[in-house]
Structure 1
Amino acid sequence: MYASSLPHAKRLRHGRVSEPGRVYLVTTVTRRRRPVFADLTLARLAIGELRACDAAGECETLAFVLMPDHLHWLLALRSANLSALVRRFKSSSARRINAAGVPGDCALWQPGFHDHALRREEDMAQIARYIVANPLRAGLAGSVRDYPHWDAVWLQPL
């Protein structure tokens, strides 16, 4: 079966590889692109779950930006399988946010996620800058400093 004939969620998984030590750029979207993370409290709950993935030793977050309706997450995979890591993040963040009383009657996250395994020659600092500049391109802030839902660490070459 050709990849283009697969349903969208299965196309996202087609050819996915999970390698500990590799850096990945992951993008995931809220269900129906609802701007759930326009709410400061709900955004901080989701960011807390990113931090929990780091604390559990599953990954090291290198950069992220949580937009109102999606997440861009640059991470170095540690002990977890990439799909399991993203599933854990989405599940735990959905539980915390739903417990906080997110309005609406549907699931928090859209099924699946997009990932890109970075090659050694790709410039991680440039990719991190692109990620954290998303709110500027979307017109949500005039300066990166004005947008509260991002972080990046100093990136060393691989």
Structure 2
Amino acid sequence: MTLCTDNRRNILENEKVHAALLEYAQAGVARGVALGRYVIMPDHIHLFVQGSHNFDLGVWVRELKRVVAAAVSGGRARAHTAEAAAATTLWQRGFFDHVIRNTESYSQKWDYVRENPVRAGLASAADEWPFQGEIVRIEHR
């Protein structure tokens, strides 16, 4: 899936956003949500996510957007109206998602996504980009 900032503002490539994403992802593991691989770009985030059968992707994304918006603004994520408004103005509405049906598709998508920083001129090699990684290994059958 891909989440984009509103007006494609370059505000995401920093340690605060990275730490907020990692914390949110690690907390999700206990609730049956796996964040596999991810790449944080200046104006968007690519995420490979897998959830249990009752997983609500829309709810998960809304909360993630709120948490990241709080990191961008320097605040802590709370359910206050002001923070909800900040999350709304930081992000484009919705998100782009694609169902990955097999291991080959996952590998192809990951190979493309991990090269984004190189194509954008932000790193000379994908492994040099500090705002990417893998939280949980997602297996495909």
Task: Compute the TM-score of the two structures, normalised by the length of structure 2.
Answer: 0.75
Query: SS in structure 1 opposite 2:90?
Result: coil
Q: CA deviation at 1:121?
A: 7.0
Paired amino acid for 1:139:
G
Shift of 1:140: 0.8
Corresponding pairs, count: 129
Stretch moving more, 65-74 or 114-123: 114-123
Match of 1:135 in 2: 117
* Structure 1: runs of 5+ lacking an equivalent: 1-25
Tell me the residue number matched to 1:77.
51
Q: 1:55 to 1:129 in 2, by over 3 A?
A: farther
Asked whether the 8 Å contact 1:124–1:155 carries over to 2, the reply is no
C-alpha separation in 1, matches of 2:55 and 2:2 = 17
Distance (Å, rounded) in 1 between the aligned partners of 2:108 and 2:5:
26
The reply on whether 1:93 has 2:68 as its aligned counterpart is yes
Q: Percent identity?
A: 30
The 5 Å alignment of 1:49-68 reads 49-57=24-32, 59-68=33-42
One-letter identity of the residue aligned with 2:27: A
1:133–1:54 CA distance, 2 compared to 1 (3 A):
farther
Work out whether residues 63 and 131 of structure 1, in 8 Å CA contact, stay in contact via their aligned partners in 2: no
**What is the letter of the counterpart of residue 45 of structure 1?**
A
> Offset at 1:155?
5.3
Which amino acid is the alignment partner of residue 64 of structure 1?
A: Y
Cα distance per residue 1:130-156 (max 9 Å; x no partner): 221111111110012210011136554
Quote the residue 1:149 is aligned against.
131
Residues 17 and 68 of structure 2 are in contact (CA less than 8 Å); yes or no, is this contact kept in structure 1? no
Give the greater-gyration-radius structure (CA).
1
Q: Does 1:119 align with 2:101?
A: yes
Kindly indicate whether the alpha-carbon contact (under 8 Å) linking 2:39 and 2:133 is maintained by their aligned counterparts in 1.
yes
Higher percent of residues as helix? 2
Structure 1 residues 109 and 55: CA distance shift in structure 2, 3 A = farther
Q: How well do the aligned residues superpose, as a CA RMSD in angstroms?
A: 2.5
> TM-score by structure 1 length?
0.68
Structure 2, unaligned runs of 5 or more: 77-85
Q: Is the 8 A contact 1:31 1:110 kept in 2?
A: yes
Cα distance change on mapping 1:146 and 1:100 into 2, 3 Å: farther
User: What amino acid does structure 1 have at the position aligned with 2:59?
Assistant: A
